[in-house]
Structure 1
Amino acid sequence: MPGMLTGKKTQRYSVEFKVKAVEWSHQAHRSVKGVAEALDIHPFMLSRWRKEHREGKFAMKRVKKAPVEANEKIKKQDEITRLKRQISELQEENEILKKFQRFQAEERRKRSDSSGNTDTSTE
């Protein structure tokens, strides 16, 4: 009895593609999930490739070119990461400035209260 055919095709990736994906995922500012999304593969597959690389199952070759779409996605992702970091820094600076403004307002209130203007009745 022949096996059931589901119509699904298993995507085959070249060794060069796997090597480049592993190299990208090892860069400090990139995550496995981010690289996997950019390459349109499942993060578990990339993790498996990383494990196979550690075990020496495929030779590490230097790949000259990566798929153009993947490069564009990686660049966009890097830009998004940079912008998110910048937003976070600006929000932190904004909070510091708000605290400083509150501090200055409090200091002004203290000075005006101690200046001798305690008589509030005008009659």
Structure 2
Amino acid sequence: MPRKKYSAEFKAEAVELVRSSSSSASAVARDLGLSPTMLNRWCREAQRSTKPVFQGSGTPRDQELARLKRELAQVRKERDFLRDAATYFAKGSS
């Protein structure tokens, strides 16, 4: 079964729901369809952290940078392949 990924907004809202609700964390987790252990971990992380929590896979800028790095690596592979192919065929026609 693939692992579920939750957005930072969802995690923050779930933690806020636990804090503002008179219900227990287990009840809130059950209502949201989460594991109580997971929701408790999110609450602990939000409580002890001084920096922004639930950053997920990074900012949109970081995601764009990662995408561009992957694209650059692919283009370099294609360039190198074409260079090698041109060299091979140039040797054959001599």
Name the TM-score, length of structure 1 as normaliser: 0.39
Q: Percent identity?
A: 35
Report if aligned partners of 1:24, 1:30 keep a CA contact under 8 Å in 2.
no
Q: Which runs of 5+ in 2 are unaligned?
A: 55-94
Given the alignment, which residue of 42, 53, 60 partners 1:58? 53
Q: Which residue of 2 aligns with 1:27?
A: 20
Contact 1:32-1:46 within 8 A present in 2 as well: yes
Q: Match of 2:62?
A: none
Task: Find the counterpart in structure 1 of residue 31 from structure 2.
Answer: 38
Number of aligned residues: 52
| Amino acid corresponding to residue 33 of structure 2 in structure 1 | D
Q: Which has the higher contact order (CA 8 A, sep 6+)?
A: 2
Change (3 A) 1:32 1:12: same
Question: Larger radius of gyration, structure 1 or 2?
Answer: 1
Look up the SS of the partner of 1:26 in the other structure: helix
Cα distance in 1 for partners of 2:31, 2:16 equals 14
Q: Runs of at least 4 residues of structure 1 off by over 3 A?
A: none
What is the rounded CA distance, in whole Å, between the counterparts of 2:42 and 2:20 in structure 1? 15
Higher helix proportion: 2
Q: Structure 2 residue aligned with 1:49, among 42, 46, 58?
A: 42
- Separation in 1 of the partners of 2:3 and 2:26? 21
